[in-house]
Structure formats: C-alpha cells, structure tokens
C-alpha cells in the first residue's frame, strides 16, 4: 500500500536557516527517484539543487517560486511504496552534507483533517492527544501550506506532527484552544531544540531562557522570531490600570514616504542580506585598524611576463599575490587567526584557507581556496579560475564560501587606488590591492616611470599590534618590488 511522505527543507549547513525557492524541477504527478534534485533554492550563500531522499510520485508542492521557507518547512509530498520499519538515509551527498535518515520514528495514531487551499489533508495528532485545528490559516513563512500549488488535483495525505500545525498561527490570527499556548512554557530537562547556533547565541547574549519559550517551528523548534518576540516582550513597559497607552516605538511604525516623489524599497535578503549581516557584525565586534604602503610592482609584472612566456598554463597576477600572502602569513602567523570571544582566546590556525572577494550579479561573494599555503602559482591560478566561474554562474556550494582564514581583496579591478575594507568576520586580517598604474618613482637614484600599486592591510587589533601588521605589509611590499625575495622560502 502506497504511503505519502512529506519532504521538508533540509538543513543545508553553515548556520543557514532559510532559503528561497528559485525553480521547481518537478511537477505534481512526476515520478522521482531517490536523491533526484526536485527544487533549486537560493540561500544566503549559494544556489543549491535539493535532492529528495524518497522515490515515488510527487503528490503536492508547497511554495511558489520566490517563496522564502525556513529550514524544516515542507517542500513537497511523495507517494511511495512499502518501506522498511527503520528507513536509512541514501548516503548520497546533499551540497556537501549528505542526506540523512529521520532522527526518530514517530508512533502512528489516528489522524485528524486540516486543509491546504481547501483540499483535505490528513495530519496525525501527537502522542499527547492534542488535535490540530481544522482549517486554521498557517503561518505563510513558517510553513507556507497556504501556497501549495493548485495543480495538485487529488487531496494529499500527509503525515505530520500536530505540534507543527499547533504553532502555525500568525500573530494576527487568534488561536483556538487546541493550538499552541501563548503562555511561557515550564522549564524542561535536556537540550532545547533550536533552529541554529546563532539563535542560541542570541538568546544567551540577551539572557533569554530557551526552556521557557514555546517554539513556533516544526515539532516546537525555537526560531529566531521566537527569541526576538521574547526580547520585545521583556522590553515592553508595564502599564497600570487607567494609564494611557504609550506610543508605539518608531521602529514599528511604517516608514513615512520619501519627500521627493517616493522611492524603491529593496529587501535585504539572500546574498545582499547575508553580506549586510556579516559586515555589520564585523564592525560591531572587531576593533580594526588599517595601514598601507605604495610599492613598485614593475619587477613583479616582469616576472609574470617571463613565467607566461616560458609555456604552460598562464599565471594570474592574483595567484602571485596569493603566493606572497601565504609566505607572509608563515612569517606572521598572528594574522592567520581568529578571536574566540567566549573563551577570550586568540586561536592561531595551521592551514591557510585564502578567501578572495568576487563581485557577481548576485552581489559580493568570497570564495575560499583551501590549503592555499600548500599550492604553487599554477595550482592557485587554476583554483581561482574555477571558483570565479562558479561564482559568476551561482553554483558555489556553501562549503566553498565558508571557512576562510585570511582574505585577499583585489579592488584594483574597479579602477581605484586604495580602500579600507571591512574584515571578513571572524577572520583577523584582509590584504587590499589597488590598481597598478604608471607613476613617477625614484628608482636607483633617478626619477623614472614605474608600475606602482597601493597595498593596504586591515587587521584585528586584538590579535596583534601595529608592529606585526606593519611587518607583514612590508614583507608583502618587498616581495612585490623584488619577487626574488620569495626564493628564500621556496
């Protein structure tokens, strides 16, 4: 006998908590195989094709293209045949993280009926005997059941825990007695399910006891919105009887229209939102400082020309600068580190995973070259080319966008000489390279026209002082001016 299974948006790793549906790869009624990609989503880090761990017939899809779903929200339902009592995960790779088997098997009980766009959907009540509210409107963000496609002709039968439906009411919809309680929950024993470590840290930093929150996510999962609502509730002033209500905070009021004919509001989401969050966090947490120096890059340019004239793969200028960076970090390891704020420790790293800034149509991304310290110029050139192309096509995986230890920022491609970049949190430093242009320069005691570049180093002042930062930058400049200096460490 066929069974209808619900496939939820999986955890794509690296702290990602939501994704936007870009393109459906299957239609209702299509037959899918195990681990067949069924939907393309855009996270804050990359475009990802999500494979389904079930094989069968697609009976319903949840969410139109452009809909943003949190991790754990239903994506689609699949009618499958008989399954083994304990299904195993396929073991195939899901964007570098692998599909997984369900964490625990739920006891089947009698189902009650809810609705999705007016069609009957069976949902199981939980073991505690709580039934779901029939026909209650679901939270468009948390579950998105109200946006199930109308092309699902037959009623979909979905087995899902009632607690997911019990928490699915929006703030503007009064819940029925069977729905989740809005009063604080009693403290419980054991770990509290939280959607991501960032949400747990937000609660810890603000003194919120997660054990007293009722999670609005699936199975009572605590979302970021739950913690933020608790913080707003604590900050709200207490009024006595007869006291006039205070004005709503300005941040809650809708923004006034622009005086000069209005304007356009652009949501900070996807890559743009991730960049905004990360840069804001870097500015809040890292006491950065910047030093810079002009360098004569004429000899470096000649050395590159000679390398490329010798045959073989062409060597990029970025690869040579990366090789100089890794040599400098070997001499000044303080800059290849990060600060563990909770432990109040500086963590020095043995491997150099070099990030480089790349501007794409989707926004600024920082792909990471793994083990850059162990690569030569040819290998670095090839890896830069591969990651740059993946960035342009939007096919970088989360693993290729995270884990950097030091960043190289070649803003000279924009035709500018200098910059004071923001450090890529939680790294400790970033080397900036301006454009290389002909300028008058004193060379061997005479005025000459040389190829000059401005180099800047922005560093976390917690990991080192100016002497270390200046020493690193001076070493880089010396290698740019006299590439033969690198021969000492080759």
**461 is annotated as an active-site residue:** yes
Q: What span, in angstroms and rounded, lies between the C-alpha atoms of 114 and 122? A: 6
Placement of tokens 């930062």 in the chain: 469
Count CB neighbours of 242 within 10 A: 5
Q: What are phi and psi of 165, to 5 degrees?
A: -75, -35
Which of these is catalytic: 30, 350, 461, 478? 461
- The angle subtended at Cα 46 by Cα 356 and Cα 316, nearest 5°, is 30
Tokens of 212: 């007293």
Q: Where are the alpha helices (DSSP H) in 5-47?
A: none
**353 is annotated as an active-site residue:** no
Tokens of 122: 């069976």
Which of these is catalytic: 117, 151, 371, 465? 465
Cβ distance 360 to 338 under 8 Å? no
- Count how many Cα atoms sit within 13 Å of the Cα of residue 449 in the half-sphere of its side chain: 2
Q: What span, in angstroms and rounded, lies between the C-alpha atoms of 356 and 386? A: 13
User: What Cα–Cα distance (Å) separates residue 414 from each residue in 274, 410, 452?
Assistant: 22, 9, 16
Burial state string for 283-301 with b = 16 or more CB within 10 A and e = fewer than 16? eeebebebbbeebbbbbbb
| Total count of residues recorded for the chain | 490
Tokens of 400: 């290729």
Q: What span, in angstroms and rounded, lies between the C-alpha atoms of 329 and 70? A: 39
- The angle subtended at Cα 356 by Cα 352 and Cα 361, nearest 5°, is 150
Mind telling me the catalytic residues?
A: 461, 465
């Amino acid at each position: 006998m066929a069974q209808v299974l619900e496939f939820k948006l999986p955890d794509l790793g690296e702290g990602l908590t939501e994704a936007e549906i870009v393109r459906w790869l299957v239609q209702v009624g299509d037959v899918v195989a195990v681990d067949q990609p069924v939907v393309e989503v855009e996270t804050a880090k990359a475009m990802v094709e999500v494979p389904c761990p079930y094989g069968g017939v697609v009976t319903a899809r949840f969410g139109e293209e452009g809909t943003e779903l949190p991790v754990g929200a239903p994506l689609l339902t699949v009618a499958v045949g008989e399954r083994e009592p304990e299904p195993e995960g396929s073991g195939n790779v899901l964007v570098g993280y692998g599909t997984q088997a369900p964490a625990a098997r739920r006891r089947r009980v009698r189902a009650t009926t809810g609705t999705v766009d007016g069609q009957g959907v069976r949902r199981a009540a939980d073991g505690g005997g709580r039934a779901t509210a029939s026909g209650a409107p679901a939270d468009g963000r948390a579950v998105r059941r109200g946006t199930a496609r109308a092309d699902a002709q037959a009623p979909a039968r979905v087995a899902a825990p009632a607690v997911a439906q019990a928490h699915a009411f929006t703030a503007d919809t009064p819940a029925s007695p069977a729905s989740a309680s809005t009063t604080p929950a009693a403290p419980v024993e054991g770990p509290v399910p939280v959607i991501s470590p960032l949400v747990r840290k937000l609660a810890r930093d603000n003194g919120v006891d997660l054990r007293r929150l009722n999670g609005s996510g699936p199975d009572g999962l605590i979302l970021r919105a739950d913690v933020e609502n608790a913080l707003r509730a604590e900050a709200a002033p207490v009024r006595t009887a007869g006291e006039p209500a205070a004005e709503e905070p300005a941040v809650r009021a809708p923004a006034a229209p622009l005086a000069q004919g209005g304007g356009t509001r652009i949501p900070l989401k996807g890559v743009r939102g991730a960049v905004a969050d990360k840069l804001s966090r870097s500015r809040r947490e890292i006491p950065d400082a910047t030093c810079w120096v002009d360098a004569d890059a004429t000899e470096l340019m000649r050395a590159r020309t000679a390398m490329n004239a010798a045959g073989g793969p062409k060597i990029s200028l970025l690869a040579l600068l990366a090789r100089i960076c890794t040599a400098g970090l070997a001499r000044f390891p303080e800059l290849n580190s990060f600060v563990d704020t909770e432990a109040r420790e500086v963590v020095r790293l043995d491997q150099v995973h070099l990030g480089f800034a790349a501007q794409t149509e989707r926004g600024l991304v920082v792909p990471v070259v793994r083990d850059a310290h162990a690569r030569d110029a040819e290998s670095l050139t090839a890896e830069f080319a591969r990651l740059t192309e993946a960035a342009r096509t939007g096919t970088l995986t989360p693993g290729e966008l995270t884990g950097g230890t030091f960043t190289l920022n070649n803003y000279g491609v924009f035709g500018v000489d200098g910059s004071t970049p923001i450090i890529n949190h939680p790294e400790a430093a970033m080397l900036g390279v301006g454009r290389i242009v002909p300028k008058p320069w004193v060379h061997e005691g005479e005025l000459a026209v040389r190829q000059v570049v401005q180099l800047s180093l922005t560093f976390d002042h917690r990991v080192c002082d100016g002497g270390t930062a200046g020493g690193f930058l001076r070493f880089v400049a010396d290698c740019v001016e006299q590439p033969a200096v690198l021969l000492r460490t080759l």
